[in-house]
Amino acid sequence: MTVFYFDLVRPTEREPDDVGVQFDDVDQAYLEACRAAIEISKDALLQRQDPNGYRFEVFDEDRRLVCEIPFSEVLRPGGLSSPPPLEDLFERVQRNIDRGQALKADLAAGFDQARQSLSGMRALMRRGESGHGPRSPSGEGVEGAD
């Protein structure tokens, strides 16, 4: 059995769960959170508060987020839904990893280009400081610069 923590998040405050509850798996924790969301929503409505902005953040015993449960989803007509399949989660994580690697490669290419530009500008500045004046790309002096 695994301990799951259910932090209640409202638009203006957060109530961390410091105790936790044991369940066999994340599916049971998810369903319990949905049941609790309905009960909390009843209480909120009796106090004339809108619970649609509330959510549970469910953490495992290592305090890693395993799912978020917006009350608006639980209260939507049509009943409770089950958590997304793990395969979908793994696919989303893999897409994010791939995207991160592509962004890293783009950044590296941008830095390389910036380094080359900076190196070229330094070379031009050195030529200018040595009294040779600006040069065209062909290496000839620029008219009126000397």
Mean pLDDT of residues grouped by 10 in the chain (146 residues)? 94 94 91 93 92 93 91 78 65 81 89 93 87 59 53
Asked whether 10 and 54 are in contact (CB, 8 A), the reply is yes
State whether 44 and 91 are in the same domain: no
State whether 57 and 126 are in the same domain: no
What is the model's pTM? 0.52
Backbone angles phi, psi at 112, to 5 degrees: -60, -45
Q: How many domains does the chain have?
A: 2
β-pair partners for 65: 59
pLDDT for 91 equals 78
State whether 30 and 69 are in the same domain: yes
